[in-house]
Structure 1
Amino acid sequence: MPNPWYGPISNNVSSEFGFTLDQVNWLGNAVNLVFLPSSILVPFVCKRFGIRLTCYFGTLLLLVSAWIRYAGSVRTLDKEGAYALMMVGQLIAGVAQPVFQVLGPLYSETWFDTKSRTTVTMVASIANPVGSGISQLISPLSGTPRASILVLAIICTAVVPCAFVVGDAPPTPPTYSASQPNPSLISLVRAILGREQRGSQAYMSVRERCDFVIIMLNFGVLVGIVTTFSILTNQDLGPYGYSSDTSGFMGAALLLTGIVSAGVTSPLFDRVFTHHLALTGKLIAPALGVLWLSLIWAVKENNTGGLFAIMALIGAGSVTLLPVAIELAVEVSRNADGSSAILWFAGNLVSITCVLVEGALRAGPNAHPPLNMRRGLIFQGVLACVTVSTVLALKGTQARREMDVRVMQGTLELQRMGQEYVPSLEQDTKGDVEALEKRDEQNI
């Protein structure tokens, strides 16, 4: 929620606190900036302290950031002091945010089986757009910008107790992959660069490395553009006569319609379209590119209905594709938190770049209309279309699921024969993928 909170009220914040629009943009962009190193550190922290303690750490940072941000809204502060405290609050929030985004796929792999993993990843991954959508609705409706910042602090405080129900792992691993030690982020980077030896647990084939790069590019650009639009909503639409409330509603429409769509489709990917994640990406990503490009002509005066329709379609496609891309990256890399960290890193890097570029492309005060963002919309539309064209080369073999299903079938067969087969964690860590497959076939 802190990331796009200032987007719908950017003009009001600028007027009340005396900040420039670029300074207001940086209150959102700062979260994305500090997200980059934080997302890379999360897998290392989790490997050292576990899921539960890592979540405690993230929750504490969220709480601290909320009240430091509110301290910056006190009327007795001068402009520079207010901006400094708000910025510090946003930076701390940027450290907290990747904790919960990066750990989502690892949590689903640790606690859930193949029939529910995608749904659980969906629930975890859409928490970010849920927060963005709520912030787009609430921030312009909370009265003054100072009251709005207080509301955000109260919400951040209210969710703190939720962290205390998070557990590290179930007594019995639900799948074969959940029983294996999670590879490190460094091993994943080595695998992507082709530095891991064949037979290593982290080894990725050339096809898998190409697929991961394609997923990373598409995820980074599509997530980055959505985040950018959330931050710049009021600046994109305000020059054409749309109020901050209407701008907030459009941003919320993008995200909230996507949540409904993802909630419907994710269970289908778990139980019906279990082997069609790559095909889903090939169908949805190009359509999203066209929709982002259409905003070049759709953002104009008196086109509220058309803009709401486009926002709803973008939201439905983007948020549906979010858990699909995250799960597919885990499938081709077999590294849950490492692949998630790289994907979210890419998304936030693109967001930072787009906010800076589109801010620089803002028209001058003498343009028609003044300060319009048409050139920025052209930039993001072209970027989206060029990037999504690469998804047509995606193969996306779901290697992790195939291994889990194969071991599960072997276990059921042995149970029918009156024997019991439980994957040995100690033996599995000493073998390689090919040896494990051969052993499973022999056991069956």
Structure 2
Amino acid sequence: MSRVSDLETVSKENASNEFKEESPIEAGMTSPPHVHNELPYRLYKRRFLGLLGMVILNIVAGLSWPWFGPIANNMVSDFDITLNEVSWLGTIEACIYLPMALSIPYLYSRFGLRRCCDIGAIALVLSAWIRYAGTVKSLSSKSAYTLLMFGQCFAGVAQPVYQVLGPKYSENWFNLQGRTTATMIVAIANPIGSAIGQLLSPLVGDSRQSILVLAIVSTAVVPFILLIHSQPPIPPTYAASTPSAPFGVLARDILLPKRSHESKMSGRQRLDFVIIAWIFGVLVAATNTFSILTAQIMQPVGYSDDVSGFMGACLLLTGLVAAIVTAPLFDRVFTKHLAITGKILLPILGGAWLSLIWAVKPHNTGGLFAIMTILGVTSVTMLPVGLELASDLSRNAEGSSAILWFMGNLLNIVFVLAVDALRAGPNAEPPLNMRRGLIFNGAFVLASVLLVLLIKGEQVRKTLDEEKLAEARAVVTG
């Protein structure tokens, strides 16, 4: 394999100029060079700075979607709008997310990773200050609400950039011993941002002050974009040195395989990818829906806002711990066991969601916290597993990630509307309970996750990377 001059995309953003002064040893090369030969794959310490930038920006991009839920009543009184209009401030962001997610692979192929992240950062700042412009008291209610909605549209542009490109950044900068861990770190950053948004928005003053704080935070993180670079001069793996197929090719490969003349996936791999995308979307939707409606699910059966919040925090925190522990194991120990892991954990996860139908009842705090722990450990662990397995099957990290996150947000809209519509009436016992919504959620999740038993989960990309690395080592040592 050739060196820097043969990499087609290194010229983007003049990346080679930024790395010429970094020696092979300082760069963290996977193997020391020989007299005349050295491995064509290297690692650079700079990858951790870029990872930090991706994480920080992803966290802040996740703040705005749930920001207005906890202050909904204040928004109603301060802006003279309805609760339904407040809900649409989050819904419109999810709607904009969908087409934007599918456009990111094209933007990546056209402009590169760094420029895509720049677009996300610009959209983040625009969303922040357009929203704040809507807090001017001299504006009419309709004018203020229009600006708030317009700002949320830009937030819908920013959020998918860092979620979708997380697996691609991992592929570009990390080798087989760190790729899944890097994907996990970026993937969980957005849920962390959503949790912080729910906690922070009611703590920083009235609704106008809250929107100002969001604008300041969104602007303050923009310099972290300088830490992110598209790719290193010398790739860490074979996959990183090979451009992905255009997103249209991947879409045709999945939807119209008989008409795709550039197919990379076999029929078995295509079926596995479709199943993974569906399960990923269902799990993201179920988890987000429960997070949004936790208080509305728990309050009718006697749990306070504080206890409901602690349950949501328990799900997230236990999941974070589990993901931090398991991701390095997938990189270094269970390197070819992603599918097996899914077949073990997903049925347990489905059973836990189903059990909420009977567990959400008065005086069952301990049982509910136990279920939240199971949900957190299994669901958050499966987040990087799904993203990496889809990338391995498709050999297209940014394209597969776009499809998975698109499915998650599309089904999230469906789940929120369905569960809310299934709410019991004020004359039910207890009034306004969400039991029918829990039945829908649990039954749908369990039926979907059992499809994992049908997948083979061949990690084609990882196998090819290992083969190319072995060939390179044979050349160096031979």
The residue number in structure 2 matching 1:266 is 327
Q: How does 1:25-64 map to 2 (within 5 A)?
A: 25-64=87-126
Q: 1:381 aligns with which of 442, 467, 478?
A: 442
Matches of 2:136 and 2:428 in 1, distance apart? 36
Alignment of 1:114 with 2:179, yes or no, is: no
Task: State the shift of 1:132 in Å.
Answer: 1.7
Alignment of 1:229 with 2:290, yes or no, is: yes
Alignment of 1:362 with 2:423, yes or no, is: yes
Q: 2:398 aligns with which of 315, 324, 337?
A: 337
Q: 2:246 aligns with which of 163, 180, 184?
A: 184
- Name structure 2 gaps, 5 residues minimum: 1-62
Q: 2:151 aligns with which of 71, 80, 89?
A: 89
User: Do the aligned residues in 2 keep the contact of 1:55 with 1:100 (CA within 8 Å)?
Assistant: yes
- The number of aligned residues is 416
For each residue in 1:80-113, what CA deviation from the matched residue of structure 2 results, as whole angstroms up to 9, or x when unmatched? 3343322222221111111101111111111111
Matches of 2:328 and 2:130 in 1, distance apart? 40
1:65 counterpart letter in structure 2: S
Matches of 1:113 and 1:300 in 2, distance apart? 48
Matches of 1:267 and 1:302 in 2, distance apart? 38
User: Do the aligned residues in 1 keep the contact of 2:252 with 2:260 (CA within 8 Å)?
Assistant: no
The residue number in structure 2 matching 1:306 is 367
Task: State the shift of 1:6 in Å.
Answer: 3.0
Task: State the shift of 1:341 in Å.
Answer: 0.3
Q: 1:372 aligns with which of 417, 420, 433?
A: 433
Question: What TM-score do the two structures reach when normalised by structure 1?
Answer: 0.88
The residue number in structure 2 matching 1:165 is 227
Matches of 1:154 and 1:261 in 2, distance apart? 32
Alignment of 1:328 with 2:389, yes or no, is: yes
User: Do the aligned residues in 2 keep the contact of 1:192 with 1:209 (CA within 8 Å)?
Assistant: yes
Alignment of 1:284 with 2:345, yes or no, is: yes
Matches of 2:136 and 2:306 in 1, distance apart? 24
For each residue in 1:118-168, what CA deviation from the matched residue of structure 2 results, as whole angstroms up to 9, or x when unmatched? 011111111111112222332343344444333322322222111111001
Quote the RMSD (CA, aligned, Å): 2.2
For each residue in 1:220-257, what CA deviation from the matched residue of structure 2 results, as whole angstroms up to 9, or x when unmatched? 00001112222223322333444444433332332232
Query: Helix, strand or coil for the counterpart of 2:219?
Result: helix
2:251 counterpart letter in structure 1: V
Q: 1:316 aligns with which of 364, 374, 377?
A: 377
Task: State the shift of 1:197 in Å.
Answer: 7.9
Task: State the shift of 1:25 in Å.
Answer: 2.7
Question: What TM-score do the two structures reach when normalised by structure 2?
Answer: 0.82
Alignment of 1:206 with 2:258, yes or no, is: no
Q: 2:358 aligns with which of 294, 297, 318?
A: 297
Could you say if the C-alpha distance between residues 240 and 156 of structure 1 is closer, same or farther in structure 2, counting changes exceeding 3 Å?
Answer: farther
Moved more, 344-353 or 78-87: 78-87
User: Do the aligned residues in 1 keep the contact of 2:167 with 2:397 (CA within 8 Å)?
Assistant: yes
- Name structure 1 gaps, 5 residues minimum: 418-444
Moved more, 301-310 or 254-263: 301-310
Give the percent of matched residue pairs that are identical in Structure 1 and Structure 2: 56
Matches of 1:20 and 1:140 in 2, distance apart? 18
